[in-house]
């Protein structure tokens, strides 16, 4: 990964106005992300992880500091929010199709692609269901399918697997690794799970308590593809321990 970075973040701070001089959520964050890198962000609740993703997605502006994408142009983004964030009036199929509608893809091709995604996340038979009829985990899988369908350059994932059961979660890990490798994507993923981050990431950033600063930038040099039993290796154990110590 000697390429020029696809994303350069410099001295990024975010302060939210409150009646007490402002609430500092992120403090002087700097790091680079390289093309096709899988970065996980760990940190205690309130350390500004979601805020960081929202800044990168262009939803809010940082209070100070800057971030720049490699070619100067805004990459296409697939985002999974902390809540599933589905449109209650759209069926599963139509929720997943949304990003393709936004880029005006013809609806037949869009349906075919959406059907593939539905199979990927294991929701066959629920194509015409409405969000109100889905469990939390199913809704989250719809959100994941929606984030992937338009083949975005950059995936921003905010605890995408938090509401899934262990079995589905591990299947999604494998699928996400596969998609990430096959489609050459750059991923920034927020998680609370050390296992999850070591299973997926090339690099794990640990943020401090609010205001979030980068406390640890850990390279995860575990061989790929990572199988389930990798967590029993001693190297995995060493990395996990470093992360646990950084998080406290």
Partner 1 sequence: MTKRLTPILISILSFLLVWHLITRYSGIPNFILPSPLSVWTRFLRAVDDRSLPYHTGITLIEILLGLLTGVLFATVVGYLLAKSRSLERVLSPYLVASQAIPVVAIAPLLVIWLGEGILSKVVICALIVFFPVLVNTIVGVRAVPIALYDLMNSLHATRAQILWKVEVPASLPVFLGGLRIGATLSVIGAIVGELVDAEEGLGFLLQLGDFQYDTPMVFVAVFTLIALALMLYGIVTMLERRFLGWQEK
Residues of the shown chain interacting with ligand ATP in the complex, contacts defined by CB under 6 A: 16, 23, 25, 43, 45-51, 82, 210
Provide, rounded to whole angstroms, the least separation between the CB of residue 17 and ligand ATP. 7
Give the x/- contact pattern for partner 1 in 89-118, rule: CB under 8 A: xx-------xx-xx----------------
Choose between 79 and 110: whose C-beta lies nearer to ligand ATP: 79
Quick one: 25 or 86, whose CB is closer to ligand ATP?
A: 25
Name the DSSP letter for residue 197.
H
Q: Which two tokens stand for residue 27?
A: 């403090």
Binding test (CB under 5 A) with Mg ion, winner from 15, 23, 46, 50: 50
* C-beta of residue 92 within 8 angstroms of C-beta of residue 129: yes
Residue whose CB is less far from ligand ATP, 43 or 99? 43
E runs forming strands in the chain:
7-16, 23-33, 38-42, 64-69, 77-80, 154-158, 186-190, 203-207, 214-219
Of 115, 161, 173, whose CA–CA distance to 136 is shortest? 161
> In this structure, is the dihedral angle defined by the CA atoms of residues 146, 151, 153 and 157, taken in order, positive or negative?
positive
Binding partner of 222, given partner 1, ligand ATP, Mg ion, none, CB within 5-8 angstroms per partner class: none
The footprint of partner 1 on this chain (CB under 8 A) covers a number of residues equal to: 23
Q: Which of 21, 88, 125, 225 binds partner 1 (CB under 8 A)?
A: 88
Peptide bond into 225 cis (omega under 30): yes
d(CA 114, CA 94): 8
- Shortest CB 134 distance to partner 1, Å: 12
204 - beta bridge partners?
Answer: 40, 218
- 165 burial via Cβ count (<10 Å: 0-12, 13-18, 19+): exposed
Out of Mg ion, partner 1, ligand ATP, none, what residue 45 binds, judged by CB under 5 to 8 A for its kind, is ligand ATP
Residues 1-60 that bind partner 1 (CB under 8 A): 54, 57-59
Helix, strand, coil percentages in the chain from 3-state DSSP, rounded to 5:
40, 25, 40
Measured from the CB atom, the residue of 162 and 230 that comes closer to Mg ion is 162
**Which of ligand ATP, Mg ion, partner 1, none does residue 48 bind to, with CB < 5 to 8 Å depending on kind?**
ligand ATP
Based on the shown chain and the rule CB under 8 A, indicate whether residue 162 belongs to the binding site for partner 1: no
């Amino acid at each position: 990964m000697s390429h020029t970075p696809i994303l350069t973040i410099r001295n990024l701070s975010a302060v939210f106005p409150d009646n007490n001089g402002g609430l500092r959520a992120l403090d002087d964050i700097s790091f680079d992300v390289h093309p096709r890198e899988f970065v996980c962000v760990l940190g205690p609740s309130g350390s500004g992880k979601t805020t960081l993703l929202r800044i990168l997605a262009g939803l809010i502006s940082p209070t100070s500091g800057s971030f720049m994408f490699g070619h100067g142009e805004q990459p296409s983004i697939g985002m999974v929010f902390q809540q599933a964030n589905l449109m209650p009036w759209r069926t599963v199929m139509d929720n997943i199709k949304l990003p393709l509608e936004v880029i005006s893809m013809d609806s037949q091709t869009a349906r075919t692609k959406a059907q593939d995604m539905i199979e990927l996340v294991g929701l066959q038979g629920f194509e015409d269901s409405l969000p109100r009829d889905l469990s939390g985990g199913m809704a989250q899988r719809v959100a994941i399918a929606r984030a992937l369908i338009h083949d975005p350059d950059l995936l921003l994932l905010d605890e995408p697997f938090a509401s899934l059961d262990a079995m589905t979660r591990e299947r999604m890990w494998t699928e996400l690794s596969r998609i990430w490798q096959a489609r050459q994507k750059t991923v920034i993923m927020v998680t609370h799970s050390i296992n999850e981050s070591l299973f997926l990431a090339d690099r794990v950033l640990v943020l401090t308590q609010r205001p979030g600063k980068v406390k640890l930038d850990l390279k995860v040099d575990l061989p790929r593809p990572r199988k389930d039993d990798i967590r029993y290796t001693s190297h995995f154990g060493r990395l996990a321990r470093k992360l646990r110590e950084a998080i406290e």
